[in-house]
Amino acid sequence: MSRPKNENYRKAEPTALKEAIDQMYETYHLKRKVDEGTVIALWPKLMGKPIASRTTKLFFKDKKLIVELSSAPLKQELILSKKKILELFTKEIGPGIVEDVAFL
């Protein structure tokens, strides 16, 4: 009696670590959460220290990055630069991760 073919079953041949981690992300549906965490971790680097220091909260909701700021003038400035910010994230991280940005 043979076993049914299962992609997640242990393989006899060695697998590259990157490939194994990518497969784990797919199996446990973690890819999106890891990508969102990457965006949040890169926020200070991409936006700069002055903007990052005035950011009080960052979170995702349905591929929309929600940014809570402590400065109203900065909020207006970022709203006007929304398209450029989206292009920056697409260039740095890849398409489809951040589809929209909202500033609160």
DSSP structure class, residue 25: H
CA distances to 54, 84, 97, 102 from 70, in Å = 5, 21, 25, 14
Least confident of 20-34, 57-71, 90-104: 20-34
Q: Find, among 82, 80, 103, 89, the residue nearest to 43 by Cα.
A: 89
Convert the pLDDT of each residue in 44-95 to its tens digit. Answer: 998 899 999 999 999 988 889 899 999 899 999 999 999 999 998 889 888 8
Determine the 3-state secondary structure of 6 from DSSP: coil
Determine the 3-state secondary structure of 87 from DSSP: helix
Report the percentage of the chain scoring pLDDT > 90. Answer: 30
CATH 3.30.70 corresponds to the domain 32-103: no
What pLDDT is stored for residue 2 in this prediction? 56
